[in-house]
Amino acid sequence: MTNFLWWRTGLICMLMTVASAPFAAASTGEIEVGKAEIFMPQRNASGTGSKMTIYNRSDQPLMIRAVTGERFRQVMLHTTTYQSGKREMHPVDHITVAAHQKLALTLNTAHIMLMGFTRPLQMGELVSLILHTNQGSVTVIARVVPMSIR
């Protein structure tokens, strides 16, 4: 019960942060994350993909080394390659965003794969993720949206 209330308070704080920053869903000063979305899992699927755009306004490369989220038992970093027209995903150690660059994470490129739901995702709900990077932790609020490949 105590844990649950603590979690709710944390979520409300994060939602207020989102409300005050119309485009960015997260910020550690020079790092921002825009338009973060989690795809509604297919029926009975144990995992799903996500997309977001990472803005690195710092003078150093940003390396995303891991991602956590209390709604997921495991989070993987993936890249996508095409083998004779077929899409294949491969786990990678980290995803790098060069200094003063942005990088769109999509299912067709590098992306964050979310597995093992601690409870079912609901369409439209906001879910928090924490990006663990060489420049510190970045909290991201992602919306659960219908599946799309774009």
Binding residues vs Cu ion (CB under 5 A)? 78, 89, 113
CB closer to Cu ion out of 66 and 89: 89
The token pair that represents 62 in the structure block: 């940003």
Q: How far is the CB of 119 from Cu ion (least distance, A)?
A: 21
Q: Where are the beta strands (DSSP E) in the chain?
A: 24-27, 31-39, 47-48, 50-56, 62-68, 72-83, 86-91, 95-97, 101-105, 111-117, 126-133, 136-145
To the nearest whole angstrom, how small is the minimum distance from the Cβ of residue 88 to Cu ion? 10
Can you tell me the distance from the alpha carbon of 147 to that of 135, in angstroms, rounded to the nearest whole number?
Answer: 31
CB of 64 to Cu ion, least distance (A): 14
Q: What's the chain's length in residues? A: 150
Smallest gap, in angstroms, from Cβ of residue 146 to Cu ion? Answer: 17
- To Cu ion, the closest distance from the beta carbon of 24 in angstroms equals 24
Give the residue nearest to Cu ion (CB): 78
What is d(CA 67, CA 130) in angstroms, rounded to the nearest whole number?
6
Q: Which is nearer to Cu ion, 63 or 89 (CB)?
A: 89
Which residue's CB is nearer to Cu ion, number 11 or number 89? 89
Q: Which is nearer to Cu ion, 60 or 108 (CB)?
A: 108
> With respect to Cu ion, which residue has the nearer C-beta, 48 or 135?
48
Structural tokens at position 146: 């219908």
Q: Which residues, including other chains, have CB under 8 Å from residue 21's CB and lie 6 or more apart?
A: 27
